[in-house]
Structure 1
Amino acid sequence: MKLRVNLYSESLFPPELRLSFARLTKALVVLIGLLLIMTAVFWGLNSSLEADKKQLMLVKQELDAEKQDLEAALAKRGPNAALVAEVELKAQQLELKQKLFGKLNQQEMLTSFGYSPLMTDLASVADTKLWLNRIQVNENRYIFEGFTSSPEGVPLWVDKLKNTTTLKGHAFASMTMSLGENQPLAFKLTSDAVTSDKELVK
């Protein structure tokens, strides 16, 4: 009489994966939807900034014309304390408008060229094994935080990012990974623009 004894314990079997293809597909669809919504929001912000710029440009042109008229009148009449004070006031107002115009230009550049192309590039390299939950853009510095079901998939995704239009010429200065309880593997990437040889010599 033969007896069969099972020497294997259930604890020796690999744990069941909580992530499935269907869940990852749903997460990818949600991510793409969020990217489209964020793109629409940034497009709206950009349109608002463009309108503010046009209005500010008109005010700046009016102040510039008034300043020139006052300077011409001052040159004809000679020194006048009230007229000189008015010219100085117009000059100060014009300087403030120019500073504000510069800030609006900078903000518009960040909105137009920082996020919209970035969202397009991220959608083009989307991976079902990886999803982002936070994106930070600070001038030429990019920070990506998210989760992955495949640790080796993150370096492959980074290689794809380096070939996109937005992140071309950038290097990822640091990458950290952490595994929380009952959570997929979390990662954080920090990107900095690569400094050219000429800039290093300076």
Structure 2
Amino acid sequence: MKRQINLYGAEFRPRRQWASLNQMALVWGGCVAVVFCMGAFYGWQQQGVGRELAQVRAALEVKRGEAQRLDAELTRHQANAVLQQQLASKQEELTAKQELMQQLGSLALQKSQGYAGLMADLSRIRDKQLSLQRIEIADGRINLSGFANHSQDVPAWVKRFQQTPSLAGKQFSELTLKRDKEGRLAFQLSGIEREKP
């Protein structure tokens, strides 16, 4: 009987060496090449950003120069303080005179025209949302009645009394709102004081 004996065991076989000098040199060379490529790429990007930054700085300098020019023009165009004060006093004087003329005109209109002034004022504040059907003047009081489209139209119309000389500052003692047989909204303002001419 024959037996085989293997005298060349696994421990005698050549082993693959990791991290040999050649392999380490290749890895380090690859790393240096990657670092160099990355440095070149970032350097190229930095140059582009630097160019853009230079352009932005140049544009900013142009805008600053224009802003300084406009500021200088603004200081040249500022009004004289004395003239501004004179203008303000003249405007106040003009406003006071206009108010006086308006008051004198309204008094003259009331005294000279009597009922005509009231009628003119009512026509001046007419409203499409309501129609005035009756005007009654008795015992120094004015009673107005008519029809409105909506209930809020009457108070809005009464607020406009302040725009008229004959009704400004007047108050009424009673407001009546009701629907008539035809479904129309009827209103009546009673007891408005009337200035005596």
What is the TM-score of this pair, normalised by structure 1?
0.38
Higher relative contact order (CA 8 A, sep 6+): 1
What is the TM-score of this pair, normalised by structure 2?
0.39
Radius of gyration: which is bigger?
Answer: 2
